[in-house]
Amino acid sequence: MTGRLCPFGARATRAGVFKRLIDLALPPRCPGCGATVADQGRFCAACWPNIRFIGPPWCHTCNVPFDHDRGPDARCAACLAHPPVHAGVRAAVAYGTVARTVALRLKYGGRTADAETMAALMRRHMPEGTALLVPVPLHRRRLWWRGYNQAGLIAAALGRRTGVPVDVRVLERHRATPPLRDRSPRERRKTVAGAFRIAAGKRDRVRGRALVLVDDVYTSGATTDACVAVLLAAGAASVTIMTWARVIDDGDD
C-alpha cells in the first residue's frame, strides 16, 4: 500500500515545488491594485476593506440590498411599483473603486485570470436548480477586436466551480450597439432593443429550464433585461441575472 501511494505523494511534492517556482518568478498580485499577495485571486489588506459584499437582507424580487432585515418576502419600492420579469439580480459586490478596477482590467486590460476571482466570490449566490449558465454575448465585431467575451470567461469559471453547464452560443448579439455609458436609462433600453436573439438550433437548450444570465457589471439593467426578454420568449422557465458587481444607488438601501 505504501509503495502505491509514494508516486502520488512525489507527484504532489513536485507540483508544490513547481507552484513555488512560478510564484517566485511571477508572484501573485492583488486583482485590485497589483500589490504582491500570498495567493492568486486574493485581495491585499488595503483593497479588501474597500469591497462591499452584497447579500441578505435584500429585496425578495430583485436582490437589491436593504439596510436592515424587513422579512424574507419584503420587496423594494421599485419592485412593488413595477415587478421585474427576471428572477433576481445576484451580484457578488457593489460597484465601487476596487470592483470597477477589477472589471475594467478584465474587460479592457487582458487580465483574463480575474474572471476566476470574480467567479469565486459570485458562486455563493448561485440559485438552486440552475440548469444552464448563459453569458451576455458580444457582437462578432467587438469579439474579434477584443479577442474574448468577459461575460463568457466569468460564466466558464462559474461553471467549473459549480458544475453547472455553460453554453456561450445560446444568445446572439446580431446587431452591433454603441457603448451605453453616459446614456440615460431610457436611451440605453432603446439602444439595445432588438439587438439579441436565440441562436439557430438553441431553443431546446432554453425551453422549460431555469437559466442564469451572466455578465460583469449590472448598471441600469437595459442589456440584461433585453436578454431576459428573449430567453423568456423562447420558453425559459426563469432567468436569474448574475454579475460580479452591481451599481447601488444611494436610495436603494
* Residue-wise pLDDT tens digits, 26-59: 789 999 999 999 888 899 999 999 999 999 999 9
Distance between alpha carbon 214 and the CA centroid of its chain, in Å? 5
- How confident is the model at residue 3, as a pLDDT? 46
The CA distance from 58 to 160, in Å, is: 27
Query: By the 8 A CB rule, do 206 and 170 touch?
Result: yes
**Quick one: pLDDT at residue 12?**
45
Q: What is the pLDDT of residue 15?
A: 47
Q: What pLDDT shows up at residue 26?
A: 73
Predicted pLDDT of residue 189: 87
HEC secondary structure over 6-42: HHHHHHHHHHHHHHHHHHHHCCCECCCCCCECCCCCC
Asked if 63 and 90 count as a contact pair (C-beta separation under 8 A), the reply is yes
Residues of the chain with pLDDT under 50: 1-8, 11-12, 15, 18-19, 21-23, 253
- Minimal CA–CA distance to 96: which of 223, 222, 217, 252? 217
Q: What is the pLDDT of residues 135-161, one digit of tens each?
A: 999 999 999 999 999 999 999 999 999
Instruction: Burial-class residue 113 by CB neighbours within 10 Å (0-12, 13-18, 19+).
Output: middle
How far apart are the C-alpha atoms of 20 and 17, rounded to whole Å? 5
